[in-house]
Amino acid sequence: MTTRTWRLGAFLLLALALAACGGKPLTREKPVASASTLAFARNLEATPAGREVAMYALGLIGVGYRYGGKNPQAGLDCSGMVSHIYRQAAQYALSGSAADMAKKGRAVRPEQIRPGDLLFFNTLNRPRSHVAVYIGDLRFVHAPSSNGAVRIDSLEDRYYKSRFEEARSYFD
């Protein structure tokens, strides 16, 4: 691990800890009237395994994208990233394509998503063609091919909000 990666990881962990301490009290958001808009959770507490998954995902930001990639040294695609994170951070074997992963775990309503849960999107005109790790506050870590690197995006982004299909949890 390079010094730069270690510093970035330490900074992100500190930011997460400070955000958790200074966050607003948990309130339920009311669904917006528009049928195309979903009410997502913002500040539900993660399970211990979910917290480990979210923190590990943050450590992969900037890792290069590679179709079919399953490890950070060679590059990651979305399902390879999720498989790697779950194996390393939670000792949970989760493999296959994004669509395969969506068949496992339990469905979670958008207002009940917690850090570490997986989000599934239709980005290639086929169901569950993209997967991401939810990290809280409507943000997720994923490996999109468009940027060429693992990054953070928001569920408030019109592109992802319109393509969101479901969330699944793999931890109690």
- Catalytic entry in 142, 155, 168, 170: 142
For this structure, is 78 an active site residue?
A: yes
For this structure, is 84 an active site residue?
A: no
CA proximity to 72, closest of 125, 163, 157, 9: 9
DSSP-based three-state secondary structure for 18 = helix
- Catalytic entry in 58, 78, 90, 113: 78
Rounded CA separation 98/101 (Å): 5
Residue 144 in tokens: 């999109």
For this structure, is 130 an active site residue?
A: yes
Element housing 90 (H / E): helix 78-90
- The one-letter code for the residue type at 38 is L
DSSP-based three-state secondary structure for 30 = coil
- Catalytic entry in 130, 133, 136, 155: 130
List, by residue number, the catalytic residues: 78, 130, 142
